[in-house]
Amino acid sequence: VQVGTSHQEQRIVGYITCTHLHAIEGDASVRCEQLDLLLQWGAEFRRNTARSAAQEKGVEDQVAFDVILGDLNFDNCSSEDKLEQQHSVFTQYRDPCRLGPGEDKPWALGTLLDTSGLYDEEVSSPESLQKVMENEEGRKEYLVFPASKNHCPSQKGRKIPLKGNGRRIDYILYREEGLRADWKV
């Protein structure tokens, strides 16, 4: 998107990539291939649409932001998602919720709801869902957690973890490289 023009007639642009990766468990190689294509196609799009200094009398585009967002269908804490956790997308883009492969920051919350509770009154509206997500016990009741975590039964018969914040499969990643140094991410 073009978000403006500088005083030097440079286009100020941003790149937004929205995706939804393959969802079937055990298909890590398919998701990694999709991430490879996402990076490849994004680079091709930037090359094909960018105004370079050579093309436009020394005036090239200024990039304000470059983000990838969407349902990637893997999480950073599940042992079964190790292949995706190591993907190069995380060296090119930054995940603000991630400490490193296999570990999220303590405040990061899961985004995958347990389907057995989707129609419960407690999560039937945006306001009530927000209230549940702001409460640790509510999160334990309604989020899906990595299978590798220790679990105990809940009041409603669902298995809940002894610790953790749920499977975070929805991401917002951003690139710092290539942005103007005086613009804050």
What is the tens place of the pLDDT at every residue in 109-158? 999 999 999 899 999 999 999 999 999 888 889 999 887 654 445 545 55
Give the pLDDT confidence of 42-56 residue by residue, as tens digits: 999 999 998 765 565
Residue that the structure tokens 């209230």 belong to: 131
Selected residue with higher pLDDT from 179 and 99: 99
**What is the DSSP secondary-structure string of 162-181?**
SS------EEEEE--TTS-T
pLDDT at 150: 47
- What does the mean pLDDT of the chain come to? 87
Any residues with CB less than 8 A from the CB of 109 and at least 6 apart, and which?
133, 139, 143, 165, 166, 168
Q: How much is the pTM? A: 0.83
